[in-house]
């Protein structure tokens, strides 16, 4: 846990330094990163990706709309839902930030990057599973 926390804090500190130079916060970067795929995303998915409670995301999204970086549209498949998209200005801003982050990020080999991504994904997936009560038998044993 110490090593994971240390790595997360160092990565966030490094990322925040680059983002600050571009007038961007970590939360905004997370929102833009999700929306950069060009698909519209429901606000609940954006909140999850940005690790923000929905009311906080709403305020942040309003700010991004005011800056003409994001626009919201009604989902054509479910008119009760709103989808968020990057505007052309938002796409340009995202590309600029993404280039700066990539230029500053320490290089890992492709193999190390794939290994790290796989291990972190496996850890997150495992931690999402409900805990097994202490007095329960181990699966596969009796």
| pLDDT tens-digit map of 7-33 | 999 999 999 999 999 999 999 999 999
Contact 85, 35 (CB under 8 A): yes
Whether the per-residue pLDDT at 141 is higher than 70: the answer is no
Q: Give the pLDDT of residue 139.
A: 63
pTM: 0.81
pLDDT band, very low/low/confident/very high, at 49 (cuts 50, 70, 90): very high
**Residue matched to tokens 């970086």:** 69
- Dihedral of the alpha carbons of 52, 55, 56, 59, in degrees to the nearest 10: 140
Whether the per-residue pLDDT at 3 is higher than 90: the answer is yes
3-state secondary structure of 31: helix
């Amino acid at each position: 846990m110490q090593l994971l926390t240390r790595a997360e804090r160092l990565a966030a500190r490094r990322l925040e330094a680059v983002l600050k130079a571009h007038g961007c916060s970590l939360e905004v970067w997370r929102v833009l990163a999700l929306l950069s795929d060009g698909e519209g995303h429901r606000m609940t998915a954006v909140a999850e990706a940005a690790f923000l409670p929905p009311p906080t995301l709403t305020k942040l999204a309003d700010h991004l709309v005011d800056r003409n970086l994001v626009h919201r549209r009604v989902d054509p498949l479910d008119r009760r839902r709103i989808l968020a998209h990057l505007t052309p200005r938002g796409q340009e801003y995202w590309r600029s930030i993404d280039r700066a982050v990539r230029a500053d990020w320490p290089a890992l080999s492709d193999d190390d990057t794939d290994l790290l991504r796989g291990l972190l994904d496996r850890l997150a997936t495992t931690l999402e599973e409900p805990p097994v009560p202490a007095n329960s038998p181990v699966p596969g044993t009796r």
